[in-house]
Homo-oligomer: A and B are copies of this chain.
Amino acid sequence: MDIKQLHYFVTVADQLSYSKAAQRLHISQPSLSNAIKNLELEVGSPLLERNTRRVELTDAGKILYTKATLLLSQMNMLKKEMEEVKLTGSGELIIGIIESVKHWIPKVIRTYQDRFPDIHFKLLEVLGGKAVKESLRKYHTHLLITNQCIEEEDIESLPLYDEKLVLVLHRDHPLAQKESIHIKDLEQESFIISTEGFQTRADILRAFSLEQATPTIKFEIERFETALTLVRENLGITIIPENYVSEPMDASIVRKTIHSPALERTIYVAYMKNRYLAPAVQSFLEETRRNFA
């Protein structure tokens, strides 16, 4: 007893005529006769009382009819819903982000929503090395905005834009007055840096080592906001992406540019390479890249 048979039966019951039903179903009348006969065999009781002139539903037929129409409509619903899914994925777009995207992500989302108004967004903060790859592979996220440079077989990682790293220190700090600052100047200072595993930590350490210097690491933090809090209390200095201090900065802290080619990080958008991307996901990817083209 499959959907097709039920569909055939319901159509005959609606038309109360095999030939009309066959026309509507775009099959021949004998095929339809056969199909109904088989259905009756399977059900075990006649469904239609028929002579050459009149077709009527039997008791069993009436019952099957009501049940079958219900089932068929639900089947149609299912098909329609899967059609939707094909376009929009699950209706949910899960994006793994880092903090510094705050200044541009709302804009991208806004233009995107004109095209896919029904999509529901989920923005997850994904920090640290392994978490990034896992979140993609385990279907936690569809897309990932990250500063991790991922080089894996199955993950595509496209650069979006570069972000400068800037020195941040307290207004009252001695270096705050100095015109131009170099890495070497920072060696003796209490330094605040990300914990092991973060790309930014690696970038900063590389910048130091390029100048044959080593920072005096006093604090290890996970979020740059934490670093800023420490700087506000003048407990140390730090180097963080410029986007964290581009906005209305409070007066107690000062930002300084340091000239070093290494003090720059690249922001990537990453996704599973060989996995099907729903058009909704694809579109968001394109929208994002266009934003930085």
Interface residues of A (CB under 8 A from B): 1-4, 43-46, 49, 56-60, 62-64, 67-68, 70-71, 74-75, 77-79, 81-83, 85-86, 89-90, 92, 138-139, 275-276, 278
Known contacts A45-B86, A71-B71, A78-B68; decide if A58 and B3 are in contact (CB<8 Å).
no
Nearest chain B residue, comparing its CB with the CB of A94: B59
Shortest CB-to-CB span from A44 to chain B, Å, is: 4
**CA–CA, A68 and B2, complex, Å:** 14
**CA–CA, A243 and B4, complex, Å:** 55
Contacts of A63 in B (CB 8 A): 81-82, 85, 90
Question: Could you give 13 example pairs across A and B, Cβ below 8 Å?
Answer: A2-B3, A43-B85, A44-B82, A45-B85, A45-B276, A57-B139, A59-B89, A59-B90, A60-B89, A63-B82, A64-B82, A67-B77, A71-B78
Contact status B82-A139, CB under 8 Å: no
Shortest CB-to-CB span from A139 to chain B, Å, is: 7
Shortest CB-to-CB span from A192 to chain B, Å, is: 40
**CA–CA, A3 and B43, complex, Å:** 16
Contacts of A67 in B (CB 8 A): 77-78, 81-82
Given pairs A44-B82, A60-B85, 12 additional interface contacts (CB within 8 A): A1-B3, A45-B86, A49-B275, A58-B275, A58-B276, A59-B85, A59-B89, A59-B92, A60-B90, A63-B90, A67-B81, A68-B78
Known contacts A67-B81, A74-B71, A85-B63; decide if A45 and B90 are in contact (CB<8 Å).
no
In the complex, the count of this chain's copies comes to: 2
Contacts of A3 in B (CB 8 A): 1-3
Shortest CB-to-CB span from A74 to chain B, Å, is: 6
Known contacts A3-B3, A82-B44; decide if A139 and B58 are in contact (CB<8 Å).
yes
Nearest chain B residue, comparing its CB with the CB of A138: B56
Contact status A139-B81, CB under 8 Å: no
Contacts of A4 in B (CB 8 A): 2
Contact status B45-A278, CB under 8 Å: yes
Partner of A139, one of B43, B56, B138: B56
Nearest chain B residue, comparing its CB with the CB of A154: B51
Shortest CB-to-CB span from A38 to chain B, Å, is: 14
Contacts of A92 in B (CB 8 A): 59
